[in-house]
Amino acid sequence: MTSRLFLIRHGPTHAKSMVGWSDIPADLSDTAALARLEATLPRDALVVSSDLIRAVDTASAIQGPRQRLPHMSALREIHFGAWELRSWKEIDAEDPQRIRAYWETPGDTTPPGGESWNQVCARVNDAVDSLLADHAGRDLVIVGHFGQILTQIQRAVGLSAEAAFSHRIDNLSLSELFYGQDGWRSGGLNQLP
């Protein structure tokens, strides 16, 4: 049995800084885009989101008649620690080697008090694996974040972390992945219905 994963990035926050675990609301004023997105999703899919308000509210806006699963904190964005709500420029002025290593050669480098890319992947992979096990063969709409979506693209396509980071994931975009007996494969990525 194959499960389809419809990965949706939350609506825009308009923040000009690194937003990870801060609970900032999304701008969901583009109701036409939300309606188009909702219309592209399978009617019998299950909907789940990160527990951060920008993902929760986006999931509610596109849920339609679909069944909602409880929010999952394991589907949160990257935990940026001391970099949270700060700009690249600010951090680069203080710790240029670390911030460049974090984004240019992602892996075990961590922001102070935050999590590495490898830790993000492990956390999100475990959450998605749990959803796939509990709802085998079902279509899953997973509303979340840039980093969280990239973790799944990296694993489904078999990319390096550097290659995964080269993907653009727009707000209110849809990336489709498949998981079944033959493993992972990808459909369209970063689609804007």
Q: Is residue 193 part of a domain?
A: no
* pLDDT over 90 at 39, yes or no: yes
Number of domains in the chain: 1
| 77 carries an active-site annotation | yes
Q: Is residue 165 part of a domain?
A: yes
**11 DSSP assignment:** P
| 162 carries an active-site annotation | no
Question: pLDDT of 91-131, one tens digit each?
Answer: 999 999 999 999 999 999 999 999 999 999 999 999 999 99
Q: Is residue 191 part of a domain?
A: no
Q: Is residue 92 part of a domain?
A: yes
* pLDDT over 90 at 193, yes or no: no
Cα–Cα distances (Å) from 161 to 96, 125, 154, in that order, read: 20, 14, 7
Q: Is residue 135 part of a domain?
A: yes
From the list 77, 79, 115, 145, the catalytic residue is: 77
CATH at residue 163: 3.40.50.1240
From the list 10, 79, 115, 145, the catalytic residue is: 10
Instruction: Give the pLDDT of residue 135.
Output: 97
User: Is residue 105 exposed (0-12), middle (13-18) or buried (19+ Cβ within 10 Å)?
Assistant: middle
